[in-house]
Amino acid sequence: MAGTWSETNKQIIPGFYNRFKWMAENRLTQGTKGVVAMPVKSDWGPMKKVTSVSTESELIKAFGSNSTLSAYRLGRLVLLGQPSELLLYRMGDGEEKVPSITLKDTTSTPADAIKLETLYPTTRAFNVSVKTDIADETLTDITLYEGTGWLYTFKVSGTIDEIVKQINGQSENIWLKATKVADGNGTLASVVNQPLTGGSNGTENITNENYVEAMSVFEQYTVNVFTLDGIEDTALQTTVQAWIDRNKSVGYDVIGCFGGSSSTTVDDANTQSKAFNDECVVNVGNGGIYKGVTYTPAESACYVAGIIAATTMKESICNKETIFEGVHPKLSKDQIEDCLKSGTLVFSGDQTSTNAIVVDDVNTLKSYGEDQSESLGYIRAVRFMHAVNADTTITKRDYIGKTPNEDLGQKVVISALKQYFETLQSNGVVGDFTVEVDTDLQANAKDDEFFWKWSADYINVMKKIYGTGYIS
């Protein structure tokens, strides 16, 4: 028995109807997972591993607040788009090093006692002071500063081994690692604002290969939108596009957001959009101005990645008000129209909004193949496709290895899948739909294979409203 579930028509056949309904409703209210991934350069944070943040405070704690490097400068832009999660991968050129300082004892010929080094490679201006605690002479204060700013004071006592253990055991310690060099006489000599030296960020010679390495690591995570950290290099962008298309062929759907430099003309941007011609690639044609800072189109693409991930299935970023109080360059009406026809996403001022808006949610697909509809030239439709693909793939786990591959079992699967599309239909995302066995493929299927297919009338959002007035 096949069919759909309702309060008055409950299914006799066991199935995961409520699970499918929940997944669809979750899509409608929370967006397409909301995960953005971005490789970054930084002077702090774990090297060559993925770090998840969802707020600016988490970003600062993990990577610091150096606004000259992309981890904070552009990670903050992504988060202002309000995705539910941002995955960052700190790249290194192989020359990254942690700075250190060696504390000595108080013998007449001071001997090395404890080596302090930072947890991560950095050139941050850390310095250390060591002195006897004013309130308790049995304690030694080891104080860490960044420049002239106080960060933390370790109050330690005992042997060198015990002091090392106390430093490393502080749960609040997110900066330093201590290592014993020698016992010496067991007493640390006083020092005043001695810098940690020898550090390197590993950012001087980042190459495209470092980005490719980051992309391969991101494949191990759920990612919905990928963006570069302000890089306008078209060769790297084309490499990312190939990575996106390759992963799409194996069911790993990602939208990429790119852009050009501050000197990129609108015509150049349109030429690049036409070269991409890909429903999974968004190319930003002009930059935004936020709190007096002008961001290039490539940097502004980071913000676009955030708002794409944050938008729910029912919504579109067409006409969406942004954080930008201005745009650069400003575009004429004709230029905007050329951009939209070419598949270039642009910002523009709007009389009804305080800030600039996204004119339309175009991606770069504007030359359509035989199996591509015009709807796929817009981000909302692509995210809808990605959401359905992800949800119906994930739920295969409920059935694979558990459901008999015969008529009754196949009807269980089809019936449950229909519940998913019914929820989308009732919320105005799709109109009429069909979910059925793919009889052509199933005719030659192996005994452990089941093929199904779906089609649906996709319902777009209103983007153009025309009125006609009559005066009598």
Whether residue 309 is contained in a domain is answered as yes
Expressed as residue numbers, the domain containing 417 is: 1-17+408-472
Strands 293-294, 287-290: pairing is antiparallel
Whether residue 343 is contained in a domain is answered as yes
Average pLDDT, integer, range 20-24: 57
> Locate tokens 């938008």: which residue?
311
* Domain shared by 216 and 350, yes or no: yes
Of 37, 34, 27, the C-alpha closest to 388 is: 27
pLDDT tens digits along 245-289: 999 988 889 999 999 999 999 999 999 999 999 999 999 999 999
Write down how long the chain is. Answer: 472
pLDDT tens digits along 116-160: 999 999 999 999 999 999 999 999 999 999 999 999 999 999 999
Whether residue 390 is contained in a domain is answered as no
CATH number at residue 112: 2.60.40.4290
pLDDT tens digits along 403-425: 777 888 888 888 878 888 888 88
| Phi–psi pair at 220, nearest 5 degrees | -85, 0
Residue 2, pLDDT score: 35
The DSSP bridge partners found for residue 200 are: 97
Threshold 0.75, pTM exceeds? yes
Among 15-19, 59-63, 73-77, 387-391, whose mean pLDDT is lowest? 15-19
Q: Three-state SS for 277?
A: coil
* Domain shared by 211 and 161, yes or no: no
Task: Identify the band that residue 26 occupies on the pLDDT scale cut at 50, 70 and 90.
Answer: low
Whether residue 386 is contained in a domain is answered as no
Whether residue 48 is contained in a domain is answered as yes
- Count of structural domains, the chain: 3
Task: Name every residue whose Cβ is closer than 8 Å to that of residue 82 and which is 6 or more positions away in sequence.
Answer: 306, 307, 310
Task: Identify the band that residue 399 occupies on the pLDDT scale cut at 50, 70 and 90.
Answer: low
